[in-house]
Amino acid sequence: MSSSSSVSVVSGATARLLPGGPVADEVLAEVAASVARLRAAGVTPALATVLVGDDDASAGYIRIKQRQAAELGFASPHVHLPASASQADLHAVVADFNADSGVHGVLVQHPIPGGLDYDRALAEVDPDKDVDGMHPVNMGRLALGLPGPLPCTPAGIEALLAFHRVPVSGREVVVLGRGATLGRPLAMLLAQKRPTANAAVTVVHTGVADWPRYTRRAEILVAAAGVPGIVRPEHVRPGAVVVGGGVRYEGRRLLPDVDESCARVAGAITPRVGGVGPTTVAMLFRNAVRAAQRQTGLG
Ligand SMILES: NC(=O)c1ccc[n+]([C@@H]2O[C@H](COP(=O)([O-])OP(=O)(O)OC[C@H]3O[C@@H](n4cnc5c(N)ncnc54)[C@H](OP(=O)(O)O)[C@@H]3O)[C@@H](O)[C@H]2O)c1
């Protein structure tokens, strides 16, 4: 067993680890520099957050994002609605932030209480202020290759592969899962004509009963199913790069899609904790600062 950062801690494993922390650090350093330039030009970029209800985990995520926003130099106006808030109440808060030219990004914390419709609230956010990159207009921009905020987790995975010098262009990528948050936008992103993408992408899901046939030939395999332990060593091509995007939480326990024993077969693999997650948060702030740059014409 080794605790080296370059070798997996799974017994008998030789896979190189692909941590997300250094990727996030690099992205956030660029964000901080961009924020400093905006502030020097008289603009304080503002990322507004909306929390509905009293879910402890969601409140915790908001606190972390606000702390990080402050460290990076963002203003972070916040509205906390009670769990009894109506859909119209939520839309009214979003509309206020949309109309406020001093607010450049808007984040509605997911999940929101049952009875409220998150997708409808997201659709109310001004697409140019959508820091999650998940607004239907931004998914359309992604499909068309138009500029706009990118969905954070797929963008984080592209950045992670680029940072660790994993060649993607021309290679066979298989994505397990076609969900709207991860698998589907990631497939679109990695198929785009750019040096850090440009891949032959296949997407598999429950409609493909024999999906291991595809994953076993993948040079890069991305797990995006949200089914703990679904990816096992026998599903991985020896020497392949394995990215664990899908996770499920049971209480505070994080259960990843990729079984740790895959590190015995893979050539490189994201760690169980500190892989894709940190890159997702970094991309949120990158979207926020880029939104401020676009809206102000600065930077
Ligand atoms: N690490 C991060 O920072 C981060 C951020 C965001 C999301 N995530 C995680 O990413 C995962 C995906 O999220 P999402 O919203 O995009 O997906 P989703 O809507 O939950 O969809 C999951 C996908 O996986 C497929 N799938 C599920 N079980 C399968 C099985 N047994 N065999 C084959 N395919 C199977 C489903 O196929 P069908 O379409 O056929 O049902 C579906 O396409 C979740 O675990 C989420 O927690 C992680």
Q: Is 183 left (phi over 0), alpha (psi -120 to 50) or beta?
A: alpha
Q: Are residues 169 and 101 in the same domain?
A: no
Q: Reply yes or no: is the peptide bond before residue 111 cis, omega within 30 of 0.
A: yes
The pLDDT of residue 224 is 98
Q: Are residues 120 and 163 in the same domain?
A: no
CA separation, residue 129 to residues 96, 146, 172, 246 (Å)? 12, 16, 34, 26
Q: Of 86, 111, 126, which residue sits at a domain end? A: 126
Q: Are residues 235 and 172 in the same domain?
A: yes
Q: Which residue has the tokens 């997407």?
A: 203
Q: Are residues 121 and 191 in the same domain?
A: no
In a domain, 294, yes or no: no
- The answer to whether residue 193 is catalytic is no
The pLDDT of residue 252 is 80
Give tens-digit pLDDT for 36-47.
999 999 999 999
Q: Are residues 96 and 215 in the same domain?
A: no
For the chain, the farthest-separated pair of C-alpha atoms sits apart, in whole angstroms, at 57
In a domain, 36, yes or no: no
Ligand 1 proximity of 270 Cβ (cutoff 6 Å): no
| Side-chain half-sphere CA neighbours of 16 within 13 A | 11
CA 223 to centroid of ligand 1, rounded, Å: 8
- Residue 93 sits in which domain range? 42-126
Terminal Cα-to-Cα distance of the chain (whole angstroms):
47
Q: Are residues 229 and 193 in the same domain?
A: yes
Give tens-digit pLDDT for 210-242.
999 999 999 999 999 999 999 999 999 999 999
CB 35 within 8 Å of CB 73: yes
CA 234 to centroid of ligand 1, rounded, Å: 20
Q: Are residues 155 and 275 in the same domain?
A: yes
Q: Of 126, 141, 159, which residue sits at a domain end? A: 126
Ligand 1 proximity of 10 Cβ (cutoff 6 Å): no
The pLDDT of residue 1 is 30
CA 204 to centroid of ligand 1, rounded, Å: 11
Q: How far apart are the C-alpha atoms of 98 and 77, rounded to whole Å?
A: 13
In a domain, 95, yes or no: yes
Q: Are residues 96 and 155 in the same domain?
A: no
Q: Are residues 162 and 221 in the same domain?
A: yes
Q: Are residues 173 and 258 in the same domain?
A: yes
Q: What average pLDDT does range 166-182 have in this prediction? A: 98
Ligand 1 proximity of 272 Cβ (cutoff 6 Å): no
Percent with pLDDT over 70 in the chain = 96
The pLDDT of residue 9 is 59
Which amino acid makes up residue 172? E
CATH assignment of the domain containing 161 = 3.40.50.720
- The answer to whether residue 109 is catalytic is yes
Q: How far apart are the C-alpha atoms of 42 and 27, rounded to whole Å?
A: 23
Q: Which of 126, 130, 132, 259 is catalytic?
A: 132
CATH assignment of the domain containing 55 = 3.40.50.10860
Q: Are residues 164 and 64 in the same domain?
A: no
Q: How far apart are the C-alpha atoms of 286 and 35, rounded to whole Å?
A: 10
Q: Are residues 83 and 203 in the same domain?
A: no
- Residue 66 structure tokens: 């606000």
In a domain, 17, yes or no: no
Task: Label residue 5 by pLDDT band (50, 70, 90).
Answer: very low
Contacts of 187 (CB under 8 A, 6+ apart): 175, 178, 201, 203
In a domain, 142, yes or no: no
Q: What average pLDDT does range 257-278 have in this prediction? A: 97
Q: What average pLDDT does range 93-100 have in this prediction? A: 98
Q: How far apart are the C-alpha atoms of 108 and 90, rounded to whole Å?
A: 9
CB 268 within 8 Å of CB 17: yes
Number of domains in the chain: 2
Q: Is the pLDDT of residue 2 over 60?
A: no
In a domain, 112, yes or no: yes
Q: Is the pLDDT of residue 11 over 60?
A: yes
- Residue 204's H or E segment, with its range, is strand 200-204
Ligand 1 proximity of 207 Cβ (cutoff 6 Å): yes
